[in-house]
Amino acid sequence: MLAAVRFSDRPTAGPSVRLVPPPYRLTAFPPYLGPVLAVIGRQAVGTVAGFGLLGHFLADTVRAVPDLRTWGRMVVQQMRRLGVDSLPIALFISAFTGIVLALLASYVFTGAVPMYLVGTLVGKTIIMELGPVLTGLALAGRVGANIAAELGTMRVTEQVDALETLAYNPHAYLVIPRVLAGTVMFPVIVAFAMAMGLFTGWLSATTLLPVTNAEFMRGLRLFYDPFDIQFGLIKSASFGFVITLIGCFLGLATRGGAEGVGSATTRTVVYSAEMILVLDAFWAVTLLRHP
């Protein structure tokens, strides 16, 4: 009986002192707080709903997997479009990354650390981090934007509806080939990017720095573990999966004409870049912990 307990009922040693709490009352919210909370609430609900829709989309895609006759013949075409055609930009990025890494290592190590460790730093960094992540970020722009714009345009010009009326499942015809091609081809592209980065790192170290070929190779082999390459390629496959899935999801969800296509494209690039960084951290936490 909470209401029956009064402060004055407490046993006291001295003269009874009546301790009555001040009359609390609920003050009104500051007027600006309501709209702010509403915006935060809407954003939170929108985000949760977005993940829910993505989950449905993924489930529909998985359900379309048995329709091999529809998607099977499209995969090679998408592997070429999304994979082979992306090779030049990936090689371009990794070539310059290799150069910068070698020079940066030399700059940091000078006078304190043996120079053969330039090879170690270039190797580990290119293979485990910068090769996959920089390539992933570049392909989020090239591949993710391409998919979102293409499927978004197909959606607003009723081509996706036309597919459905012609008895095709858009998930089988449009989504599976792209997601599969991205997941398979990203590690291939990244493998080439790693090789290019190592080559330009070696070239700049041996020509621009006081590092011999033998020293660079010694450093490269020093802490080498075959797992390093597996780690980089696993990350790349996950980036490929996420970028193509987001591109397909937002592309097919496009509404409202050219503006909608632009918005879907932009959001695909932004969300893909964010997811690459999240996955990068996820794989580091999951796979790189010391035993």
Partner 1 sequence: MILFEDLHKAFGPKRVLDGFTLAVRDGETMVVIGYSGTGKSVAIKHVVGLLEPDAGRVAVDGQVVSELDRAQLTGLRSRIGFVFQFAALFDSMTIFDNVAFGLRRRRDLAESEIEDRVREALALVDLAGTEAGMPSELSGGMRKRVGLARAIAVRPTYMLYDEPTTGLDPVTSAVIDELMIRTREALGVTSIVITHDMRSAYSVGDRIAMLYQGRIRQVGTVAEIRDTADPVVKSFIEGRPDRSASEAATTLSAEEGIAVEGAQG
Residues in touch with partner 1 (CB under 8 A): 63, 70, 157-159, 161-162, 164-169, 255-257
For 134, what's the count of Cα atoms within 13 Å in the CB-facing half-sphere?
Answer: 21
**Nearest approach, Cβ of residue 76 and partner 1 (Å):** 16
CB of 210 or CB of 256, closer to partner 1: 256
**Nearest approach, Cβ of residue 4 and partner 1 (Å):** 51
**Nearest approach, Cβ of residue 143 and partner 1 (Å):** 17
**Nearest approach, Cβ of residue 251 and partner 1 (Å):** 14
CB of 210 or CB of 257, closer to partner 1: 257
CB of 16 or CB of 266, closer to partner 1: 266
CB of 6 or CB of 80, closer to partner 1: 80
**Nearest approach, Cβ of residue 249 and partner 1 (Å):** 16
CB of 9 or CB of 161, closer to partner 1: 161
The single-letter DSSP state of residue 86 is G
Q: What are the E-state strand segments in 110-246?
A: none
CB of 5 or CB of 167, closer to partner 1: 167
**Nearest approach, Cβ of residue 256 and partner 1 (Å):** 5
Q: Distance between CA atoms of 169 and 67, rounded to whole angstroms? A: 9
Helix (H, G, I), strand (E, B) or coil at 210: coil
Q: Which residue has the tokens 């043996």?
A: 114
CB environment 83-100: b (16+ within 10 A), e (fewer): beebeebbbebbbebbbe
Q: Distance between CA atoms of 110 and 210, rounded to whole angstroms? A: 10
Q: What are phi and psi of 112, to 5 degrees?
A: -120, -35
CB environment 59-77: b (16+ within 10 A), e (fewer): eebeebeeeeebbeebbee
